[in-house]
Structure 1
Amino acid sequence: MTPTRSLDPPARDVPPPVLVEALLLRHDPTEGFAYRRLITALGGRARPDDIARGLALPAEDDERHLVHSTSWRATDEGQIVLTYLIHPDPAPDLPGTPLPDPDAIARSPRAGHPTPPDLKAHHVAAHAVRHLAFLARTDPAVAAHLASSGDGADAALDRLPGVAAGQLQRA
């Protein structure tokens, strides 16, 4: 008889911690994209969307900023991270991290192990920017937001592949 593995996760007394990560995106026509990263724990019955907005935006009724969930991932420490992109950065004068290559894609070399072993914050930010490029082509509300932002992000996103990850072509 062949042994089988249970598909049920191991019993735990405490669920894994969930973190909400906000990537505050800015664009400068000469410098390109940059971002700031803010992160906090999701507590109690809080909604992740509300936590992401609260991390970055000055007021709950702020409608000048796009807030969009772009991905999730598990960390080596057993946490789940929900990533949100916020555009434009509400505090563009604060130091940001340049994103010189929004085409950078982290990949796993093993098909059965989807998490890339060398995943870094810039990979997550690049994924979020490519996700935004996809939305700019498929979501009229996002396209209108980008066109009205005045920072040139819409033109820069036009130069990126605006396709879902499964539609990317091999290099």
Structure 2
Amino acid sequence: MPLAPHEVPDAPPVNVEVVLLRHGPSEGFAYRRLITALGRGVSPDRAARGLALLGEHDEMHVVHSTSWRATREDGITLTYLVHPDPTPDQPGVPLPEPYEIASSPRPGHPSPPDLEIGHVVAHAVRHLAFLESTDPAVAVHISAWPDLAHALRSLPHTTAGEVQHT
């Protein structure tokens, strides 16, 4: 039943999640994750930059929205990738499998039941690899990080919709 114009439902809670990515030739990929509730009147981009402690005019970092997902609490989480991690001295979490793709076994229920943060970060890394090959500004940024560029180019060149299941 459609809502009457005066019956606007409450918007679901929205969180902004930032994955601060780092890569080293011997360590591989690692990340830090920060998350905050999106404040009323604050753009998600601004919230992501604020979480990463980036100034308004900072052009030394890639900041890119990589995905969104429904939460178990009926909210929405918007994920941003930031590279490089602005505070690399903070402890990071290793990402051993950046090609691991989560999927749902039920076509009418798109959210994978076993989705973990590692899946989200792996998706963000694959998204960055895609951008490195399609977005000139991102490609210029990545070119300053040769080990990262090599690692991104080593990832399988398929999107989630092209994955072949065996």
Q: 2:101–2:160: 8 Å Cα contact kept in structure 1? A: no
Per-residue CA distance 1:44-81 (angstroms, 9 max, x = gap): 11100010001003422111000000000011101100
Cα distance in 2 between the residues matched to 1:7 and 1:26: 47
How big is the shift at 1:113?
A: 1.1
Cα distance in 1 between the residues matched to 2:129 and 2:118: 16
From 128, 131, 149, the counterpart of 1:135: 131
Cα distance in 2 between the residues matched to 1:60 and 1:149: 23
How big is the shift at 1:162?
A: 3.3
Alignment: residue pair count = 163
How big is the shift at 1:156?
A: 0.2
Per-residue CA distance 1:19-38 (angstroms, 9 max, x = gap): 00000000011010000000
Per-residue CA distance 1:102-128 (angstroms, 9 max, x = gap): 011111111111110000000000000
Per-residue CA distance 1:91-144 (angstroms, 9 max, x = gap): 111001100000111111111111100000000000000111111111111111
Q: TM-score, normalised by structure 1?
A: 0.89
Cα distance in 2 between the residues matched to 1:168 and 1:143: 24
Counterparts of 1:2-151 in structure 2, within 5 Å, are 13-149=9-145
Q: TM-score, normalised by structure 2?
A: 0.92
Cα distance in 2 between the residues matched to 1:69 and 1:163: 19
Question: Percent identity of the aligned residues?
Answer: 61
- 1:164 maps onto 2:159 in alignment: yes
- 1:153 maps onto 2:148 in alignment: yes
Name segments (4+ residues, structure 1) moved above 3 Å. Answer: none
Q: 1:88–1:149: 8 Å Cα contact kept in structure 2? A: no
Cα distance in 1 between the residues matched to 2:125 and 2:23: 11
Cα distance in 2 between the residues matched to 1:166 and 1:20: 25
Higher mean C-alpha displacement, 161-170 vs 107-116: 161-170
Give 1:41's aligned amino acid.
Answer: A
Cα distance in 2 between the residues matched to 1:7 and 1:71: 29
Cα distance in 2 between the residues matched to 1:125 and 1:165: 14
Question: Any stretches of 5+ residues in structure 2 without a counterpart?
Answer: none
SS at the partner of 1:134?
helix
Q: 1:137–1:162: 8 Å Cα contact kept in structure 2? A: no
